[in-house]
């Protein structure tokens, strides 16, 4: 088979006629560069996908002390066992989803370096007398049996927990002010953004990347003014695709967010002196708030509220989905609001209360046995 000019092919990243002081290391680095090129041509995210995969392969090579053409299936098993033991020593669990991500990353690299079209098998046989082999198979990888494999502690907050969380966020502002310490302005912003995440069911990236221009009027709800909805331009992308866009409408049950955003824009944001910065949420350094800072804001308020440590910022999105369903919004509406491609994903997010299920049961009983219910009344 002749060489094909595919992005990432061996002859395109490993120059012929060059004598390397360390041929094995040079070939390995060329493999990584070729794999990165191959992924970039598929428009995969560099920071979020490609770099972590390259780091994983380097870590695996360091663990084995061997190069890809000498890797064996038992190396994967030892690598996974080592990670499980290490996490256990640290008092942490090794999530099934994390293990699968590791295995998938190594499997994809294996598919790349064993594909004859990219030329690595022939090049390795020529230089080292061995060719790379696929070491990940169905008998040594995690089987995907459940739709949801996240941490059991990640769940929707109850209405009372949401209220306690937001009370703690507001209380933090007063505490800082009473102690005459710096940070009251940031605490005001943090309280507003946490409430916005819940009121619109946003992801971290979606919340931090909001601009002033993303505030939307809704002609069907003129009472909400310029806060009739949010235009989300940085939704979660599918593989190789651009960030998905959607408009999240303000619903009447969360109309309290209108006053909060109005106060933030009129009274709080100007004090950061943002100038012409387009971001809705700005920092003391006149920059855009980061995802990490948003996580820290939630964790601080969660601790003040005395809520369980396993709850994270994403639980507010779970809460939004659950509460919309309990408000009797149609499943399709909820799905569109949060930007899920499939209804099954939205279903995973929901965790409706016993009270809501009993309400549905009573409604069904009344519809089916109206005469009995009339007699009781």
* pLDDT grade for 361, boundaries at 50, 70 and 90: low
Mark whether 366 is an active-site residue.
no
When comparing pLDDT for 132 and 142, which is higher?
A: 132
From CA 89, how far away is CA 318, in angstroms rounded?
31
From CA 55, how far away is CA 61, in angstroms rounded?
10
pLDDT tens for each residue of 291-320: 999 999 999 999 999 999 989 999 999 999
One of 100, 314, 359, 366 is an active-site residue; which one?
Answer: 314
* Strand (E) or helix (H) holding 34: helix 23-40
Quote the pLDDT of residue 145.
44
Mark whether 314 is an active-site residue.
yes
The tokens describing 303, both together, are 């601790």
Sign of CA dihedral 247, 251, 254, 257: positive
Q: What's the chain's average pLDDT? A: 87
How many C-beta atoms lie closer than 10 Å to residue 5's C-beta? 7
pTM above 0.85, yes or no: no
Mark whether 317 is an active-site residue.
yes
From CA 262, how far away is CA 258, in angstroms rounded?
6
Mark whether 369 is an active-site residue.
no
Mark whether 83 is an active-site residue.
no
The tokens describing 168, both together, are 């703690």
DSSP assignment, residue 21?
S
From CA 103, how far away is CA 98, in angstroms rounded?
9
- Please, which residues bridge with residue 216 across strands? 229
Q: Which residue has the tokens 């992308």?
A: 237
| E-strand stretches of 3-58 | none
Residue 32 has pLDDT above 90, yes or no: yes
Q: Which residue has the tokens 């350094």?
A: 285
One of 37, 87, 236, 277 is an active-site residue; which one?
Answer: 236
Residue 217 CA to its chain's centroid (Å): 28
pLDDT tens for each residue of 365-375: 666 666 655 55
For the domain made up of 159-313, give the CATH fold: hpI Integrase; Chain A (1.10.443)
Quote the pLDDT of residue 92.
78
The mean per-residue pLDDT over the stretch 140-155 comes to 60
Contact 209, 283 (CB under 8 A): no
One of 112, 198, 264, 349 is an active-site residue; which one?
Answer: 349
Can you spell out the DSSP letters for 214-281?
Answer: GEE--TT-GGGGGGSEEEEEEEPPPTTPPPEEEEEEPPGGGTHHHHHHHHIIIIIGGGG--TT--BSS
One of 234, 302, 317, 323 is an active-site residue; which one?
Answer: 317
One of 123, 172, 203, 323 is an active-site residue; which one?
Answer: 203
One of 155, 189, 323, 340 is an active-site residue; which one?
Answer: 340
Quote the pLDDT of residue 349.
67
* pLDDT grade for 151, boundaries at 50, 70 and 90: low
Mark whether 285 is an active-site residue.
no
């Amino acid at each position: 088979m002749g060489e094909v000019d595919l992005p990432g092919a061996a002859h395109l990243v490993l120059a012929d006629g060059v004598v390397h002081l360390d041929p094995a290391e040079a070939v390995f680095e060329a493999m990584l560069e070729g794999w990165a090129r191959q992924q970039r041509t598929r428009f995969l995210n560099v920071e979020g996908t490609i770099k972590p995969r390259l780091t994983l392969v380097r870590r695996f090579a360091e663990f084995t002390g061997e190069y890809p053409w000498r890797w064996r299936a038992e190396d994967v098993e030892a690598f996974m066992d080592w990670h499980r033991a290490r996490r256990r020593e640290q008092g942490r669990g090794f999530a099934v989803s994390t293990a699968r991500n590791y295995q998938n990353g190594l499997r994809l690299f294996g598919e790349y370096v064993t594909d004859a079209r990219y030329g690595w098998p022939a090049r390795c046989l020529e230089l080292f007398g061995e060719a790379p082999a696929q070491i990940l198979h169905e008998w040594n990888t995690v089987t995907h049996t459940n739709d949801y494999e996240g941490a059991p502690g990640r769940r929707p907050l109850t209405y009372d927990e949401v209220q306690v969380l937001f009370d703690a966020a507001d209380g933090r502002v007063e505490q800082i002010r009473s102690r005459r310490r710096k940070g009251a302005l940031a605490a005001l912003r943090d309280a507003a953004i946490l409430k916005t995440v819940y009121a619109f069911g946003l992801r971290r990236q979606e919340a931090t990347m909001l601009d002033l221009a993303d505030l939307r009027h809704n002609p069907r709800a003129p009472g909400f003014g310029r806060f009739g909805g949010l235009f989300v331009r940085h939704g979660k992308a599918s593989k190789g695709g651009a960030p998905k866009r959607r408009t999240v409408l303000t619903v009447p049950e969360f109309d309290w967010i209108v006053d909060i955003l109005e106060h933030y824009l009129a009274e709080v944001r100007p004090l950061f002196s943002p100038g012409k910065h387009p971001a809705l949420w700005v920092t003391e350094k006149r920059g855009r708030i980061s995802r990490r800072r948003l996580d820290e804001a939630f964790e601080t308020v969660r601790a003040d509220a005395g809520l369980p440590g396993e709850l994270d910022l994403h639980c507010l999105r779970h809460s939004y989905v659950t509460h919309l369903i309990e408000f009797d919004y149609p499943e399709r509406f909820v799905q569109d609001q949060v930007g899920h491609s499939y209804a099954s994903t939205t279903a995973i997010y929901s965790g409706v209360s016993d009270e809501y299920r009993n309400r549905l049961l009573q409604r069904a009983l009344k519809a089916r046995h109206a005469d009995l219910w009339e007699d009781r009344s």
